[in-house]
Structure 1
Amino acid sequence: MGQKITIIKHPLLRHKLGHLRDKNTNSNDFREITKEISKILAYEAMREWDQMEPVAIETPIAKTTIERMINPPVVVSILRAGNGMLDAVLSMLPIASAGFIGIYRDKFIHNTVEYYFKMPENIKGKEILLCDPLVATSDTIVAAIDRLKQYEVGKIKVLCLIASKIGLEKLHFFHPDVEVFTLNVEEEINEVGYLVPGLGDAGDRLFQTK
């Protein structure tokens, strides 16, 4: 397994992940818990950020100098499930812009198909926070990273709720420089590509489309 993996371990996160795994958790609760976890993933992914500038301000008491972030990352959602994470990550990074990649694995041609790609202008050199709740086979996320690198973006960090061991191995085989932030690494995927024990199809559970 690649070395650029941060597994965030915390009792509150284990508790929330347990609710996501439960098939009886309704769609609204699934969305809200996904948002809560996504904020923490964004927090961890930005822990080492060092692009800051000093700004002179006045508090109610005195003049002082504070720090403000500059050159923020671009938050990219892999449609459609990534949209369940997007608003939460942007709430942590309100000065960030957002991009969207529509991509899926076609079971008939056994390859990924891109149907939508929209990025902010001037993303060359920009750090990317790539959001997708699940990394199972990793076919779609590898294809998404391939496309982003065509635009010569900067460092790419993947934010996901859970990922498979085999998916992460494949991701880091093709993109060893990419960092992954997740809550858990699952040992198995089943014959149709779902994580085991997993939490089902995140898109369906987020948007009630099953």
Structure 2
Amino acid sequence: MASGGAPSQQQQHHHQQQLNVQAFPRPPLVERCNKHIQIMWHGALVADCPAGESYWVLETHHPPTYYIPPKCVRLPLCTTPRSTFCEYKGQATYYSLMSPISAADTVSNRIWSYMEPMRDYEAIKGYIAFMVGPWECYVDGERATAQPGDFYGGWVTSNIVGVFKGPWATWDPPQNAYAPNVPDQRHHAAPFPNMQF
């Protein structure tokens, strides 16, 4: 697929190494990510980030959250009054995005960044993160689904397994409650690899 087009099924990677969220670290790890990230909404390309230009944040019980440089976002974002604080990354700034087909359809507070991140997270300063939905989010051509609960911003793809932290900020979900793709990985968590795979 040429950069800028809609992702195709042929792009999907069916033999990716599985990553178990229970093997992810805490405090979270931020790494350069060798994945092609795209976001589509009503057929328009909202963001297109080539492999190697984004970061992902990996945290125990969370699927990856992807942070992309502002230059890769093709539609304008407007800041909103909302602000939240993360004990690791710092104060988050939130944005609204107007639908490419209707000015009346504006979605707020599902996009954020850290303009002054705390130590160890400076790499993502000013980078933009999107929750999954209402737009479609793709990782190397595979459409991601949202982390359960509509509270956190993780992206779930077919190679992400384990028990996810879910709704109502639950810290330790019941075994198998949010464990897609595998019956149980709680006691079989393989170490996550460096992002260069």
Q: Per the shorter chain, which TM-score range?
A: 0.3 to 0.5
TM-score (norm 1): 0.32
Greater share of strand residues, 1 or 2?
Answer: 2
Q: Which has the larger radius of gyration?
A: 1
Higher helix share: 1
Normalized against structure 2, the TM-score is what? 0.33
